[in-house]
Amino acid sequence: MRGNHDCFDMSSWNSEQNLYRQYSVVKKRGFDFMVEKTFGRYRFIGIDACPKSGPSRPYNFFGYYEINDMDRLSEKLLDESSNHTFLLAHYPKATLLFGKTSKGEAFEDLSEHISVYMCGHLHKLALGLGDHLQIYRPTNYLELELGDMKVNAVYRILAIDHDLVSYIDVQLPLPEIPLKNPPPPADGFSILPEKLPYPPIILITNPKGSAYTMKYREPVQRIKYSTHIRMLIFSDHDIDTISIFLDGKLHDQDVYYKGNSRNDKEYIPLWTSQWSPSNFDDGKNHVIVVKARDISGQVGESKLIFRVDGERSSMNGGISEFLMGLDWAAVGQSLFFIAHVTLTIYLLAAKLYVTYYPNHPLIVSFHASKKTIPQSFFRKTFLLVSQPIFFYTLYFYLLAIITMPLFIGHMIPSSPQGGYGLFWIYGIQFFQNLRWLPLADTWRHAVIDFVFSIAIVVIWFLVITGDRRWRTKWLLWGVILWLWRGSELYKLSQVYGHFVFWANVQTFWWLFWGWYGISKGIVS
């Protein structure tokens, strides 16, 4: 699947920069294929949600799907001749902007026809935030993010057993992850040897994990009436022993191999053991653990929670599940507008107050009264907005960032003519044909700029206003902040051209508060 790294600095699909078009397996946008078996048909649809014109990094993190794309997807999904439909994309739904079909259908409407949405892109995030990037969506499908191979060394095995979908994510048995000192390479381009020794890999397919039950997509009642525990056990060596534990007790039935030969084209290493699901049909969660030892002594283990009644168990995904459930673009927009409106109204109200009540005791006799934190805060606010040059400059900047483009830049450096455009908080508008790129990256930029170039700057001004001791103490922090924000503008100009620095409303504000706050503070 094509992802954002495949469309950095790319003006169009036909661009010479589009190495995916030249060297990938499919060499086209997305794919659609049907796996047909005697027992059912299973459809796999890959969607390409990369920007049609891809800016250079850093503003190329989010994807989007336009009306024409949605129409094609709708046509495919409305064909309900398959037992299961799997939708594959690089981007999680949280990082995608979906348009609507020409009939007005949203993605939520179309998603009623899919069973599993598989994606990547987030690389398991960091600090443990992305260890369980999976969620059960309100329209009754599973969204399962897969950690990458390069850094996290993770791959996925997915199986369909009597139309019950199960999967397991497996980490390569490397000496360190990420692999910093790879072993001698095999022939070809691989940095790894031809084979890595690994313990048995076990995927339990019946009973399936109840955290991933889709009772509106799967025949979950088959678990209740099944006669055997079933599992796939992948191993380079013959299996010596298999132990099954149900709720901590050793299962007393033998385990038999029902798969085919390892040399067969469609190798299925299936093992089964008789069981009585009625013993577990009590409306509660139960635990199954399978351990397998191969003849070399390596041991593999798989554990899952299951239910026989077909109900779902909690995924217990914590912060990862919460993050997957968000619409990151909508969160960015909401945070920005709430913060922007709050600050704008607050400053305007303070300005009107000091204009119509200039002799309020909080302003004129502050030092003669008992000071509290709220009194100090409001007094400093009143003093700050009483300085016309500061108030009107800040107010102009607050209005400018929502009504004007933030800067002009060469957003696609590989395109000499068509790569120039205007960067608004709402998206990117290219000069050539006035193309509009509705990337949510612009909202991420707006939030970061508001926090570090407006909110923290205003707080710094409040701290140093009206008190010489605080001004001396906090001046250095203002200098550090000013230099850092300036360096960010400079780095941006190195990517998107010098116009970014000079034709940028943010530069105007940066120069102003540096002059008004820092240079005057040093002089005084």
DSSP code per residue over 242-301:
EEEEETTEEP-S--EE----TTSTT---EEEEE--GGGG-SSS-EEEEEEEEETTS-EEE
- Parallel, antiparallel, or unpaired: how do β-strands 427-430 and 436-437 relate? antiparallel
pLDDT at 264: 87
pLDDT band of residue 520 (cuts 50, 70, 90) is low
Tens digits of residue pLDDT in 158-177: 999 999 999 999 998 887 87
User: Has residue 87 got a pLDDT over 70?
Assistant: yes
Mean pLDDT of 259-281: 93
pLDDT at 524: 47
Q: Euclidean distance between the first and final Cα of the chain, in Å? A: 60
pLDDT band of residue 228 (cuts 50, 70, 90) is very high
Share of the chain above pLDDT 70, in %: 92
By the 8 A CB rule, do 307 and 242 touch?
no
Q: Any idea where the domains of the chain sit in the sequence?
A: 328-523
Mean pLDDT of 10-38: 89
By the 8 A CB rule, do 74 and 110 touch?
yes
Axis crossing angle, helix 373-385 with helix 328-356, rounded to the nearest 10: 80
Integer Cα distance of 61 and 3 in angstroms: 9
Integer Cα distance of 332 and 336 in angstroms: 6
**Quick one: which of 157, 161, 178 has its CA closest to 169?**
157
Mean pLDDT of 3-11: 89
pLDDT at 183: 61
User: Has residue 360 got a pLDDT over 70?
Assistant: no
Rounded to a whole number of angstroms, the CA Rg of the chain reads 30
Integer Cα distance of 484 and 493 in angstroms: 14
C-alpha dist (Å) from residue 107 to 120, 135, 333, 398, 440: 19, 16, 20, 34, 17
The residue with greater pLDDT, 466 or 19, is 19
By the 8 A CB rule, do 384 and 462 touch?
yes
CA-based torsion, 290, 294, 299, 302: positive or negative: negative
User: Has residue 178 got a pLDDT over 80?
Assistant: no
Integer Cα distance of 466 and 383 in angstroms: 7
Query: Which range among 9-23, 86-100, 264-278, 455-469 shows the weakest confidence by mean pLDDT?
Result: 455-469
Tens digits of residue pLDDT in 110-135: 999 999 999 999 998 887 888 899 99
User: Has residue 28 got a pLDDT over 70?
Assistant: yes
Integer Cα distance of 148 and 129 in angstroms: 15
Tens digits of residue pLDDT in 386-397: 889 999 999 999
Tens digits of residue pLDDT in 43-81: 999 999 999 888 998 999 999 999 999 999 999 998 888
Integer Cα distance of 45 and 308 in angstroms: 31
C-alpha dist (Å) from residue 237 to 198, 276, 312: 10, 30, 35
**Quick one: which of 304, 293, 161 has its CA closest to 220?**
161
Tens digits of residue pLDDT in 310-319: 999 999 999 9
Report the mean per-residue pLDDT for the chain: 90
Write out the DSSP string of 67-90: HHHHHHHHHHHT---SSEEEEEES
Query: Which range among 12-16, 355-359, 505-509 shows the weakest confidence by mean pLDDT?
Result: 355-359
pLDDT at 433: 81
pLDDT at 112: 94
Q: How many CA atoms lie within 13 A of 363 on its CB side?
A: 16
240 CA to centre of own chain: 42
Cis peptide before 207 (omega within 30 of 0): yes
Integer Cα distance of 497 and 398 in angstroms: 25
Tokens read off for 497: 């051209």
Integer Cα distance of 219 and 202 in angstroms: 23
By the 8 A CB rule, do 380 and 373 touch?
no
User: Has residue 371 got a pLDDT over 70?
Assistant: no
Mean pLDDT of 455-481: 83
- Bridge partners, 84 (sequence order): 42
Percentages helix, strand, coil for the chain, rounded to the nearest 5?
Answer: 35, 25, 40
Mean pLDDT of 284-295: 97
User: Has residue 411 got a pLDDT over 50?
Assistant: yes
The residue with greater pLDDT, 519 or 242, is 242
pLDDT at 291: 98
pLDDT at 238: 93
C-alpha dist (Å) from residue 220 to 80, 282, 285, 312, 487: 19, 15, 15, 10, 57
Integer Cα distance of 146 and 166 in angstroms: 14
Integer Cα distance of 212 and 311 in angstroms: 10
